């Protein structure tokens, strides 16, 4: 590993995790990730902003050694989740006089998650400042991006905003700053979808608050640093806003081909009507890709056969995920088939209480689809198109 200079006396000293492919045993990481940790040296005091996942603590220690850091006065803990805080026990042992600076909620969580002793903490309030001599840290509480204790740090003299998970991306890139903007934005959108989307209404409020702060750099604790913050601020305003696109996300699974035939027919019917459609065969889908498309789509249609009187478990998983991620989707429907009966539609519909959607009547075939089912699928495509037109997006 190596340190990366952000500005004079500000270095990124964390770890790039090129090999990690799964986060929380749930989220795919096709491009790895990084746990950014920042060392800020003031004329009098030194602060470390966030640590790293405990699996990478050796990289953090190596980087601190490279900079000949013998004393750390403050360790700023933005967030209790272990990918940033998990190395705290090692670092406070290595730097025994260091205080962990955080808010009361985060302190409580760090003590319960990491069994850290009470006397290691220095608790701060929202907008409180901490002097490092010629550098001043200001703490800005930003709850629910994405846990209740999350906060940001503004380094006033250098106009750097350290944001931990907020504005992050799971991207193991060696340049510190954003290079390929389209690539980084795609990764950041995926990250937003998986981590931040359930809190998009609070994010809108945080974005408003940030308009009052004069920063020129956003330094998150995952992925590249933004030296042109407008790029990610505009993207977040778009993703967290209420505008939807003329798109249908179509997660589906088929066992013996009937649902597959219906999905393929519906895809063509939507294409013919000028509606963008994004199908995901759930038996081989990266759920991060699916989540990313849920950020903007006006409509979700779930395709499922009937299994043991209910939806296929993969379709139920997609419904559970969509419900938990709370996208701004406006319309929903279901297509699929059954052999002898069941409650597939009722079960799937009941799994979406968080979505504020209008349900467009589902199309369910008995066995293989016939003429009447294809006509119903044409009608479904018409209704989707009309709904999008009424929403002013088609
Ligand atoms: Fe990157 Fe919520 O931790």
Ligand 1 touching residue 222 (CB < 6 A): yes
In ligand 1, which atom is closest to the CA atom of 221?
A: 1
Domain covering 4-240 assigned CATH 3.60.15.10 in the classification = yes
What's the rounded mean pLDDT across residues 271-284? 98
Compute, in angstroms, the gap from residue 22 CA to the centroid of ligand 1. 13
Q: Is the pLDDT of residue 328 over 80?
A: yes
Question: 3-state class of 71 per DSSP?
Answer: coil
State the pLDDT confidence band at 26, using cuts at 50, 70 and 90.
confident
Ligand 1 touching residue 79 (CB < 6 A): yes
Domain covering 248-390 assigned CATH 3.40.50.360 in the classification = yes
What's the rounded mean pLDDT across residues 185-196? 97
What's the rounded mean pLDDT across residues 149-157? 98
% of residues, the chain, pLDDT over 90: 97
Compute, in angstroms, the gap from residue 166 CA to the centroid of ligand 1. 9
Over the chain, what is the mean pLDDT?
Answer: 97
Nearest CA to ligand 1 atom 2: 81
Q: Is the pLDDT of residue 209 over 80?
A: yes
Question: 3-state class of 14 per DSSP?
Answer: coil
- Where along the chain do its domains lie? 4-240, 248-390
What's the rounded mean pLDDT across residues 134-141? 98
Ligand 1 touching residue 293 (CB < 6 A): no
- Rg for the chain, CA atoms, rounded: 24
Token representation of residue 295? 């950020």
State the pLDDT confidence band at 1, using cuts at 50, 70 and 90.
low
Compute, in angstroms, the gap from residue 121 CA to the centroid of ligand 1. 20
pLDDT at 269: 98
Nearest CA to ligand 1 atom 1: 165
On whether the CB atoms of residues 130 and 183 are closer than 8 A, the answer is no
State the pLDDT confidence band at 351, using cuts at 50, 70 and 90.
very high
Compute, in angstroms, the gap from residue 197 CA to the centroid of ligand 1. 14
pLDDT at 362: 98
Q: Is the pLDDT of residue 25 over 90?
A: no
Distances (CA, A) of 104 to 39, 203, 232: 23, 21, 29
On whether the CB atoms of residues 53 and 79 are closer than 8 A, the answer is no
Distances (CA, A) of 122 to 34, 141, 204: 27, 15, 30
What's the rounded mean pLDDT across residues 181-200? 97
State the pLDDT confidence band at 125, using cuts at 50, 70 and 90.
very high
Residues of 231-250 as b/e, b for ≥16 C-beta within 10 angstroms?
Answer: bbbebbeebbeeebbbbbbb
In ligand 1, which atom is closest to the CA atom of 165?
A: 1
What's the rounded mean pLDDT across residues 341-348? 94
């Amino acid at each position: 590993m190596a340190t990366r200079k952000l500005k004079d006396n500000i270095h990124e000293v964390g770890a790039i995790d090129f090999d990690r492919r799964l986060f929380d045993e749930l989220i795919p990481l096709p491009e790895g990730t990084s746990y950014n940790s920042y060392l800020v040296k003031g004329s009098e005091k030194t602060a470390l902003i966030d640590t790293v996942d405990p699996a990478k603590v050796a990289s953090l220690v190596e980087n601190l050694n490279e900079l000949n850091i013998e004393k750390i006065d403050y360790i700023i803990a933005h967030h209790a989740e272990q990918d940033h805080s998990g190395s705290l026990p090692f670092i406070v042992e290595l730097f025994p006089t260091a205080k962990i600076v955080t808010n009361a909620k985060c302190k409580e969580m760090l003590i319960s998650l990491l069994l850290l002793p009470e006397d290691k903490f220095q608790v701060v309030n929202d907008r409180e400042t901490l002097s490092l001599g010629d550098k001043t840290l200001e703490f800005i509480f930003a709850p629910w991006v994405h846990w209740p204790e999350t906060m940001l740090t503004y380094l006033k003299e250098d106009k750097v905003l350290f944001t931990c998970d907020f504005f992050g991306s799971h991207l193991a890139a060696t340049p510190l700053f954003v290079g390929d903007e389209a690539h980084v934005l795609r990764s950041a959108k995926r990250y937003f979808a998986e981590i931040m989307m359930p809190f998009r209404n609070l994010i809108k409020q945080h974005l408003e608050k940030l308009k009052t702060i004069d920063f020129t750099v956003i330094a998150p604790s995952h992925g590249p640093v933004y030296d042109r913050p407008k790029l990610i601020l505009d993207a977040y305003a778009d993703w967290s806003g209420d505008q939807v696109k003329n798109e249908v996300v179509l997660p589906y699974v088929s066992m013996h081909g009937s649902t597959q035939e219906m999905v393929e027919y519906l895809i063509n019917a939507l294409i013919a009507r000028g509606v963008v459609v994004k199908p995901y065969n759930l038996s081989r889908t990266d759920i991060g890709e699916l989540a990313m498309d849920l950020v903007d789509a006006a409509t979700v249609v779930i395709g499922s056969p009937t299994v043991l009187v209910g939806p296929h478990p993969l379709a139920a998983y997609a419904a559970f995920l969509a419900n938990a991620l709370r996208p701004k989707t406006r319309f929903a429907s279901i297509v699929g088939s059954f052999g002898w009966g069941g409650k597939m539609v009722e079960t799937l519909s009941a799994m979406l209480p968080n979505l504020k959607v209008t349900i467009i009547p589902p199309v369910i075939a008995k066995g293989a689809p016939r003429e009447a089912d294809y006509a119903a699928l044409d009608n479904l495509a018409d209704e989707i198109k009309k709904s999008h037109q009424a929403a002013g997006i088609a």
